[in-house]
Amino acid sequence: MPGSSSASCPARCCCRPSRPRPSTRPTAERGLHPAARSNRKGPPVLSDAIAPTAQALPRIPIGEWFADFIRFLTNEFAWLFEGMRAVFAASVGTLESVLLFPHPLVFIAIVTALGWYLRGPGFAVFTLLAFLLIDSMELWIPTMDTLAMILIATIVAIAVAIPVGIWAARRATVSTIVRPILDFMQTLPPFVYLIPAVFLLRVGTPPGLLATLIFAIPPGVRLAELGIRQVDKEVVEAAEAFGASKRQILWRVQVPLAMPTIMQGVNQVIMLALSMVVIAGMIGAGGLGSEVVEGVTRLRLGTGFEGGIAVVILAIFLDRITSFMRDRALAES
């Protein structure tokens, strides 16, 4: 009809303002992120209702404090870290040159003879075949690079760990302070060690060596302290009765009797150093770690597998050598 609203406006919905329609979703679901609403299945739960609420406690900027601390170190002690970088690079380069000086076959003959002397003919055959396999895979130079880093990191870590462990065994206060620090260091993910090392020493072998030796210290400290504490008190009292000084008791009684446990700590230090050296390949530390990282990042299955085989061979060889030293110390004690 003329004049009727229906005739003048057939599409009634276009002229009349639309009123908001009430949401049919539950109240708890309205505050969720759209992706969360699309992925959620089933009825709403209590966590959905409290998700949009504000944070209960103020944020503690621990990460910012740590970053500021690292920047302070790099700005105020740049000369120190440049010196450390130069010393680490020179030490690794020198030892690597020494290890690469003899022909690979001569080096293999030397380690095979060492394996025969320490562990017998079976281990000598394994050593011969294993190192020939490394040379045949064209991984001799990366293996020697990794071995140089492991030896230097182990020497520095042991030089720090054993005195601290002995000190903690003789002083209860030191043990109380050191124990939570070691717990923190051993539970911290290995990749976290690379972050400050890169900022302090830049990319390359030096930061990898720094992260490796710090990562390998805790088991040396723990087992050195444990070895000293396990020495029979009656033996110590007998030494005191004969008039021995504290220094004589430490170096002639406690340390020799604790040597098997200390050597077990050395074994653990070497194994942790080897694992960290491989991880340090992510920051350009070189060696077998770079081979493994290249195999992962570039999807080269063969390269990564060969690098892993070389790492396993090196780990078995070093483990058997240090195990012999531990067993010999146990027999002598």
Q: Read off the pLDDT band of 163 (50, 70, 90).
A: very high
Mean residue pLDDT across the chain: 83
Q: Do 283 and 198 contact (CB within 8 A), yes or no?
A: yes
The tens digit of pLDDT for each residue in 295-333 reads: 888 888 888 889 899 999 999 999 998 888 887 877 776
* Confidence (pLDDT) at 297: 83
Contact 194, 280 (CB under 8 A): yes
Cα separation of 84 and 157, whole Å? 15
The answer to whether residue 83 scores a pLDDT higher than 60 is yes
Tell me the percentage of the chain whose pLDDT exceeds 90: 44
Which of 166-170, 189-193, 226-230 is predicted with the least confidence, judged by mean pLDDT? Answer: 189-193
Residue 54: φ, ψ to 5°: -70, 165
Beta-carbon contacts of residue 197 (< 8 Å; ≥ 6 apart): 207, 208, 210, 211, 283
Q: How confident is the model at residue 4 (pLDDT cuts 50, 70, 90)?
A: very low
Q: Does position 208 have pLDDT exceeding 60, yes or no?
A: yes
Query: Token digits for 172?
Result: 């209860």
Q: Which of 9-18, 57-66, 115-124 has the lowest mean pLDDT?
A: 9-18
Q: Which residue ranges form the domains of the chain, and what is each CATH number?
A: 63-101+137-332 (1.10.3720.10)
Tokens of 227: 């070895």
Residue 205: count of CB within 10 angstroms of its CB: 25
Residue 57: predicted pLDDT: 81
The 10s digit of each residue's pLDDT in 8-33 is: 444 444 445 555 554 444 444 444 44
Supply the pLDDT for residue 40: 54
Tokens representing 223 are 């087992």
Instruction: Report the percent of the chain where pLDDT is more than 70.
Output: 83
Q: Per residue in 175-204, pLDDT tens?
A: 999 999 999 998 988 888 988 888 888 888
Segment 246-292, tens digit of pLDDT: 888 888 889 989 998 999 999 999 999 998 988 988 888 888 888 88
pTM of the model: 0.78
pLDDT band at 7 (very low <50, low <70, confident <90, very high): very low
Return the minimum-mean-pLDDT range out of 98-102, 133-137, 303-307: 303-307
HEC profile for the chain?
A: CCCCHHHHCCCHHHHCCCCCCCCCCCHHHHCCCHHHHHHCCCCCCHHHHHCCCCCCCCCCCHHHHHHHHHHHHHHHCHHHHHHHHHHHHHHHHHHHHHHHCCCHHHHHHHHHHHHHHHHCHHHHHHHHHHHHHHHHCCCHHHHHHHHHHHHHHHHHHHHHHHHHHHHHHHCHHHHHHHHHHHHHHHHCCHHHHHHHHHHHHCCCHHHHHHHHHHHHHHHHHHHHHHHHHCCCHHHHHHHHHCCCCHHHHHHHHHHHHHHHHHHHHHHHHHHHHHHHHHHHHHHCCCCHHHHHHHHHHCCCHHHHHHHHHHHHHHHHHHHHHHHHHHHHHHHHC
Which two three-digit tokens encode residue 289? 């770690």
Q: 110, 114, 87, 88: which is closest to 99 by C-alpha? A: 110
At residue 290, the pLDDT reads: 85
Using the structure block, give the residue that is written with the tokens 């520095």.
Answer: 156
